[in-house]
Structure 1
């Protein structure tokens, strides 16, 4: 029996249109994380991209969710939005040291998202990957990188990510390349094309397809017919994280719940 898991969630938990849509009417705002965590299995913390938080905040978030819940954490823009990535060491250390490890076993992957204008430079990007710590304060750290320029769609990038043990984010996007190559010990998926016309953001047949793909990734298979940039990775079972992000954001929780329901069948 596989010990890997598929976790499904949304970005953040504070969003006004979710009130009286996802959250029950008159639900206390201070308990929104508690409610979201009762319906989902993961949340991507986005606020950490814009500012830092105190250790007490991470500890409080961990205390508000079930024991088997997981947070992904979006890394600070000061780490990734820079001309020379190799110079990001101090910013990375500051980000990792702010209190992330207070999440303990509820800490999932750290998401490092790059600007859409950032082009692939093998030497510089390779230097950046070497700066990512594998642990901090006794807590293992896992990393995922979301690149959004077409120049990254090359085997050289996939090879760098695999050598570093870092996952490449597979984004379902109308604007950015979808690189489906597996490179780390987990798979990180961001579904960014939800539409308001669909109650769950994605049509039922699309949700069925993503359900099958998530199961394929979990068991180590490469979902067909998703094209790969490099040779397939070894068929090793992996955790999979699927987040409904952007695009008709008001529908995101319903998409996540619909996918969780399908996975439970």
Structure 2
């Protein structure tokens, strides 16, 4: 159990944010959140805290990237832009049965907004009720996007080339061998999702495996592991939460990197 017994639910985010530097918000994958929720999350976290936001399944799993403009407009209108400096990368996780289609992926990448001004402009086309939207952005900030693939057909130089051309990070996903593990550097940052190295969503990481990941992260940050020798920002999230291993593994890796 991660949270202390008796800790009120309303204080859980603040408790976690005192021990971690970033959290991946997954609720946005299942349903559009509200501007008031994003504002509350921003208020509950330190000034330098960062949220990554998981893109809606309506875009990735229901529409399957087809004709994404309308769905993306509602997503970007739903309030995530209220996070301001705390808005980190946007994660787009594809379903395991979606095969690589060059034209489809290229169109999707081209539609993604690259700045908060672009995202706000896209959001203003949303058909959502005005009470559920917020697009009043006054500072233009760059947006980063990461894509997590789960079909072997994406292990393709054409896909890697598209991601690099568009500056989209291909998620380094550790999935106990179930889905592709791509380690290509295709953007100015890397995005890692560690789902469990032995048992998907369940197994904890040993000190030895965490040290291996720490070495990898250090290499990317320093640039030694990047083809151009230029260091990258690295975001790491643990999704091995079935047995409540994720927060402890995240804190352990954080300490290794700080050390």
Aligned mates of 1:84, 1:74 — CA distance in 2: 15
How far apart are the structure 1 equivalents of 2:21 and 2:243? Answer: 18
Partner SS for 2:146 = strand
State yes or no: 1:244 paired with 2:235: no
Encode CA deviations 1:35-65: one digit per residue, 9 max, x unaligned: 0000011100000000111111111101101
Question: Would you say the 8 A contact 2:175–2:197 is kept in 1?
Answer: no
SS at match of 1:31: helix
Report which structure shows greater RCO (CA 8 Å, sep ≥6). Answer: 1
Other-structure match for 2:171: 169
Q: Provide runs of 4+ in structure 1 moved above 6 Å.
A: none
1:31 maps to which residue?
11
Deviation per residue, 1:98-150 (Å, 9 max, x gap): 11111111110000000000100111111110010011233321100001101
- Residue 253 of structure 1: CA displacement? 0.6
Q: Structure 1 residues 84, 57: CA separation in 2 closer, same or farther (over 3 Å shift)?
A: closer
State the Cα distance separating 1:202 from its structure 2 match. 0.5
Aligned length: 234
SS at match of 1:140: coil
Query: Would you say 1:219 and 2:222 are equivalent positions?
Result: yes
- 1:160 maps to which residue? 162
Partner of 1:151: 153
TM-score normalised by the chain length of structure 1:
0.84
Q: Which residue of 2 aligns with 1:178?
A: 181
1:133 equivalenced with 2:110 (yes/no)? no
Unaligned runs of at least 5 residues, structure 1: 1-20, 223-231
Taking the aligned partners of 1:59 and 1:105, their CA distance within structure 2 comes to 12
TM-score, length-scaled by structure 2 = 0.86
Q: 1:84 to 1:116 in 2, by over 3 A?
A: closer
Q: For 1:75-86, what aligned pairs fall within 5 Å after superposition?
A: 75-82=55-62, 85-86=65-66
Is 1:46 aligned to residue 26 of structure 2? yes
The residue number in structure 1 matching 2:257 is: 263
Aligned-partner SS, 2:245: helix
